[in-house]
Every structure is written in structure tokens, then in C-alpha cells.
Amino acid sequence: MVLPWDQDPTLAAFPKTPADGQLLVLETRAKVHAMPWHRQKLTLIVSSVRHFVEERRAAGFHVEHRLADDYASGVEAFSAWAKPKALHAMAPKEWAIDGRFRALATRLPLTIHDDGGPGGHFLTTRDEFLTWVKGRKQVRMDQFYPLMRQKLGLLVDAKGKPVGGKWSFDADNREHARGVEMPTIPWFTPDALTQKVMRWVGRDDVGAWGRLEGFGWPVTRAQALSWLEHFVERRLEGFGPYEDAIRSDERFLFHSLLSVPLNLGLLRPDEVARAAAEKYQRGHVSLASAEGFIRQVIGWREFIRGVYWWLMPGLREANGLSAHRPLPDFFWAPERTGLQCVKEAVESVHDTGYTHHIQRLMVLCNYATLAGLDPRAVSHWFWAAFVDAYEWVELPNVVGMGLHATDAFTTKPYVASAAYLKRQSGLSAKGRGPAAARDEAPCARCRYDPDVRVGPTACPFNAMYWDFLDRHRERLSKNLRMRQLLTTLDRFGPEQVKAIRQTAEAHRKSLRPYEPAWAFHEDRG
Ligand SMILES: Cc1cc2nc3c(=O)[nH]c(=O)nc-3n(C[C@H](O)[C@H](O)[C@H](O)COP(=O)(O)OP(=O)(O)OC[C@H]3O[C@@H](n4cnc5c(N)ncnc54)[C@H](O)[C@@H]3O)c2cc1C
């Protein structure tokens, strides 16, 4: 049985030859209406699943392709009709669906295969990660990542030591990208099958939000492989140095955009990481770029998936900073904010279903943390609006990394003032920089001033940042780096602190929730 993210014929649950068995592919009404999905996300998932069906049929397999109310009832109905001797499924990647499949397995001849390890999509089994977590004082990605490098034999010498003498070259990867030319993204023209799906998604009762036109995401393995090749050939070298950059006129920079095919199973994480390692071994890209990229794929991605199964279902409720403000309207209607960096990030999501990591973390979630937005509401938005979002990956990223609603696997909140955003978009420390930078840096075109801390013209990131440190002083003072920042805050003096509080509060009071509100059904599907 094939769920949307299992589009890999080599997975353990699937017949290897047509004589071994048939495939059951389900689309569900419940999932389509579970959230106000981005129109490109719906198109991507439905079109890729239908391409997968066509490809498997062309390879000689019998594929039973059905529309069901939800996945579990679809399996039951199929089972009652076909009376199979055995059913096989990969462990569903979503907590609620996983639970329902495990309940089914108690009354149907259903074997559930781990989605990690040999025959799985991930590089570790769920139990391997839980065993690693057990008894650890701290659960941190940088402790997990070397184990993955050694396990896969990637960028390690014969003794298992890291090539280049250290595991991470992150510190080398923080340049802004002002004036740097980027290769264009080879988007795909939708074929007849995708166009048919787009017509359906375009109906008022199906797609809810986001631009549909311009859809060009890969929907087949062949397209995904050609993107991998393009990335490794043309963009990997720039990935390292410009990984943390922000540019108004470049939405994708040197990012790979491979989360989309990876999360559908169209690419396997080990083949993606090996392609980057090979490029380095042939001397075509720097170690910092290859290592930086590999760390994301076999380190962060794998770690985040482990954390999801470790912390669910409580992770959905996490709200360690007691943040309760509803999501402001501009997350759905970007024209309603004057904050240029936030507007550009949301516009990118609206137009493509994508923003790169730094916009997700240091623009959108930074803003959400400082403004005290409710973690569950922010998570719902990410889940519905991003083309690569599934609960297993967006929830730990949003709630843990992005909003610090739990400190179970991160050291400190990822928060910053406008100074960081200016720097990453290539503006000089003082002033908004040369005229040439105006098209490239959001701060240069913003109606707020990134160099002003308080008052109506000040960038809200500034006052909200210091106000955040002040409000969460007790909790944050446990961390050495945050303690140092609190010392700076203490030097401001009472008048300045009062003005900071007033400016931050005035901004927060100006926020309005979106009307009409949409419903988010996390468990449907
Ligand atoms: C608030 C927030 C929400 C996020 N939501 C998602 C999400 O819904 N889906 C998703 O796949 N990623 C998510 N990420 C992680 C990361 O931002 C995206 O994987 C990345 O931006 C996807 O673009 P890319 O393929 O161009 O990535 P690149 O920058 O090219 O990175 C390469 C690959 O590394 C992996 N990766 C890197 N960082 C992470 C991470 N923290 N967690 C998991 N995988 C990672 C992805 O597979 C990605 O394709 C989120 C991060 C944050 C901070």
C-alpha cells in the first residue's frame, strides 16, 4: 500500500516484481479538506501520486488506485473486497495515521515496515534514534550528526575521523550574497496529467490559498533526479558560503529545493548526500559546501524526524514561552504588513509554497517568537502553506527550532534584531548601504528603519527583540550566550527599557487575526 510520501518502489513494503503482488494507492477526501492547503502543494502531491501510478502500471504492476474517505477506511474497504492473504505498508510518517494503521494491523493481515534503516526511506530506524536519545543529558544535532557520517562512511577517513579535521564547517558558511549571480532554477512545464490536477485544484471547493500558476515542481523520479544533477553541478558550490544569505530579488539563492522530492520519496537521502560527497571527492566543490549540504540532509533532516517520534504527541502542545497571540492576517495576506522582510518571505510562500531556511527561521519564526505568536497556530500555517511540509518535519522545526516552545533539542532561541537581517542581506553596519543594494536587501526598501530601536519609525524586530529578552529573562539567563545579551540590555537604562517595552507593545497591539478563520484538522487523513 502506497501513501503519498512513499513514492519509492525500492521500499520494503512493495512488491519487487509484478508476480510478487499488487499495489494499493489511496487518495483521500479527508486529507484534501484537512487544512487550507497551498494550491501548489495539493497539485504536487496529487500529480506525483498519479504519475507514480502510471509509472508502476507501465512497469507491469497491477495498481489498485482508489479514492477513499481516509487511508485507514480505504485499506479496510480494499481488504474486505480483495480478501488479501497479506498486506504490507511502510510505517506512516504522520503520527495520527501511524496510530490508525497499527490499530488496523491488530485485525487485518497487515505488516508495517519501519520507514528507516534498510528498506526504509530514512537512514535510521525509529528505535535506533530512541535508543540513542535514552540516557542522554542533551539531545543535540551536532552530537548525532558525526554518527551518521560514520554510519554512511561519508567524508570520513579509514579511522572514522572527519575529512578536513572537523565535523562541521558551519562557521565558514555565513556570507551575504550581495551582487552574486545565481543560476536559474530549471522549473518543469506541467504535462497533461499535472494540468488536469491543476484544473481540479483551481476549483473554489478544493485549493484554498496560494498561487497555482507557475507550478513547476518535480512530480516524477526522473524530474527529481535531473534536479539533483542540476543542483550538484550548478549550485552546490555556492550553497556553503551563501547558505545563510537573504536577498529580495533571489528567492532560491543556492538552495537545493530538494526537500520537495525528498519528502515524497522521489529521492533517497543517501543518494542525495553521496552525490554531494562525490562532487567534493572529484575536486569540483569545496569541503565547506559539500559538508554543509550533507549536514542538512543526513544530520538535520534525520535528527528532526527522530525528534518527532521521540516527542509526539506532546510536541503539538509545546508552549514553553506561554505564547498565545493568534496568527496575524499578513501570514495569509502579505500586502498587509509594512515589514519588508516578512512581506517578501510570505509572498514567496504564496507564489511558490517555498522560502529558504533562513527566511523560515530568522524572518518568519524569529518574528513569530518575538511577537509571542501561538506555536500551534504558526505550525498550522507552515504545514498548510509549504510545499515540503508534513507534520514530522514542520512541527519539530517550527515548535522547537523556530519558536523555542520546547528546549528538548535546542540550546537557545533563534532570535535576532534587525542588525542580523541587515547583515545577512549585505547591508553595512551603519546606514542602509549603497544604492546598488536597494534591490537586493529588504531592509533597504522597508518603511521601518533597521538602525532605530524605539519609536514609530523603528524596525519592530529591534524593540521586540530586547523586549523578548526582558520578558523571558529568568528562563534565558540559564544560557551563557543569552546571559551576555541580557548584560547588554541591563546597560540600556530604565528610560530606554521603558521605550522598548512601549514600542514592542504598540506593534503587537497593531496585529489583527485573519478573518475568515480556516479550520485545521491535524489528525484527518
Ligand atoms: C520553521 C522551519 C520550518 C521548516 N519546515 C520544513 C518543512 O516543512 N519541510 C522540510 O522539508 N523542511 C523544513 N524545514 C527545514 C529547512 O528549512 C527546509 O528543509 C529547507 O529550507 C528546504 O529547502 P531546500 O530543499 O532548498 O533546502 P537546502 O537549504 O538546500 O537544504 C538541503 C536539505 O537539507 C534538509 N534540511 C535542512 N535543514 C533541515 C531541517 N531543519 N529539518 C529537516 N530537513 C532539513 C532538507 O531535506 C533540504 O532539502 C523547516 C525549517 C524551519 C526553521
pLDDT beyond 60 at 435: no
Write the single-letter amino acid at 306. Answer: G
pLDDT at site 206:
92
Looking at the structure, tell me whether residues 109 and 131 fall in a common domain. no
For atom 18 of ligand 1, which residue has the closest CA?
Answer: 357
Q: Which domain holds residue 62?
A: 18-113
Looking at the structure, tell me whether residues 166 and 107 fall in a common domain. no
CA neighbours closer than 13 Å in the CB half-sphere of residue 179: 7
Site residues for ligand 1, CB cut-off 6 Å: 255-259, 262-263, 293, 296-297, 300-301, 304, 356-357, 360-361, 365, 382, 386, 388-389, 393-394, 397-398, 401-402
What would the mean pLDDT of 162-189 be, rounded to a whole number? 92
Contacts of 251 (CB under 8 A, 6+ apart): 348, 352, 354, 355, 356
Cα 214 to middle of ligand 1, angstroms? 22
- Residue carrying C-alpha cell 512493495: 14
For atom 41 of ligand 1, which residue has the closest CA?
Answer: 300
Instruction: Out of 123, 259, 393, give the residue to mutate to test ligand 1, the one with the largest number of ligand atoms within 8 Å of its CB.
Output: 259
What's the pTM value of the predicted model, to 2 decimals?
0.97
Kindly state whether residue 473 falls inside one of the protein's structural domains: no
Q: Give percent of the chain with pLDDT exceeding 90.
A: 92
pLDDT at site 172:
78
Which atom of ligand 1 is nearest the CA belonging to 262? 47
Residue 516: which pLDDT band, with cuts at 50, 70 and 90?
A: confident
Kindly state whether residue 489 falls inside one of the protein's structural domains: no
Question: 113, 143, 158: which is the final residue of a domain?
Answer: 113
Looking at the structure, tell me whether residues 160 and 53 fall in a common domain. no
pLDDT, tens digit (0-9, with 9 covering 90-100), for 43-86: 999 999 999 999 999 999 999 999 999 999 999 999 999 999 99
Contacts of 290 (CB under 8 A, 6+ apart): 155, 236, 240, 276, 277, 279, 280
Looking at the structure, tell me whether residues 139 and 285 fall in a common domain. yes
Write the single-letter amino acid at 100. Answer: R
CA neighbours closer than 13 Å in the CB half-sphere of residue 422: 21
Please give the Cα distance from 305 to 48 (Å, whole number).
Answer: 22
Kindly state whether residue 497 falls inside one of the protein's structural domains: no
Please give the Cα distance from 386 to 401 (Å, whole number).
Answer: 17
Q: Where are the alpha helices (DSSP H) in 258-396?
A: 259-264, 269-281, 287-294, 301-311, 340-352, 357-358, 366-371, 375-385, 391-395
Looking at the structure, tell me whether residues 73 and 162 fall in a common domain. no
Kindly state whether residue 471 falls inside one of the protein's structural domains: no
Looking at the structure, tell me whether residues 400 and 261 fall in a common domain. no
Residue 436: which pLDDT band, with cuts at 50, 70 and 90?
A: low
Cα 510 to middle of ligand 1, angstroms? 31
Instruction: Out of 246, 256, 296, give the residue to mutate to test ligand 1, the one with the largest number of ligand atoms within 8 Å of its CB.
Output: 296
Number of domains in the chain: 3
Contacts of 109 (CB under 8 A, 6+ apart): 84, 85, 86, 87
Q: Are strands 87-90 and 23-28 parallel, antiparallel or unpaired?
A: unpaired
pLDDT at site 377:
97
CATH classification at residue 151: 1.25.40.80
CATH classification at residue 449: 1.10.579.10
Kindly state whether residue 322 falls inside one of the protein's structural domains: no
Which atom of ligand 1 is nearest the CA belonging to 389? 8
Cβ atoms 377, 415 nearer than 8 A: no
- Residue carrying C-alpha cell 562512511: 153
pLDDT at site 432:
55
pLDDT, tens digit (0-9, with 9 covering 90-100), for 300-312: 999 999 999 999 9
Cα 506 to middle of ligand 1, angstroms? 33
Q: Where are the alpha helices (DSSP H) in 105-241?
A: 126-133, 141-152, 192-201, 221-230, 236-239
For atom 8 of ligand 1, which residue has the closest CA?
Answer: 389
Looking at the structure, tell me whether residues 181 and 241 fall in a common domain. yes
CATH classification at residue 33: 3.40.50.620
Looking at the structure, tell me whether residues 237 and 287 fall in a common domain. yes
Cα 360 to middle of ligand 1, angstroms? 9
Looking at the structure, tell me whether residues 184 and 302 fall in a common domain. yes
Kindly state whether residue 103 falls inside one of the protein's structural domains: yes
Please give the Cα distance from 125 to 145 (Å, whole number).
Answer: 15
pLDDT beyond 60 at 119: yes
pLDDT, tens digit (0-9, with 9 covering 90-100), for 81-117: 999 999 999 999 999 999 999 999 999 999 999 999 9
Kindly state whether residue 284 falls inside one of the protein's structural domains: yes
Kindly state whether residue 255 falls inside one of the protein's structural domains: yes
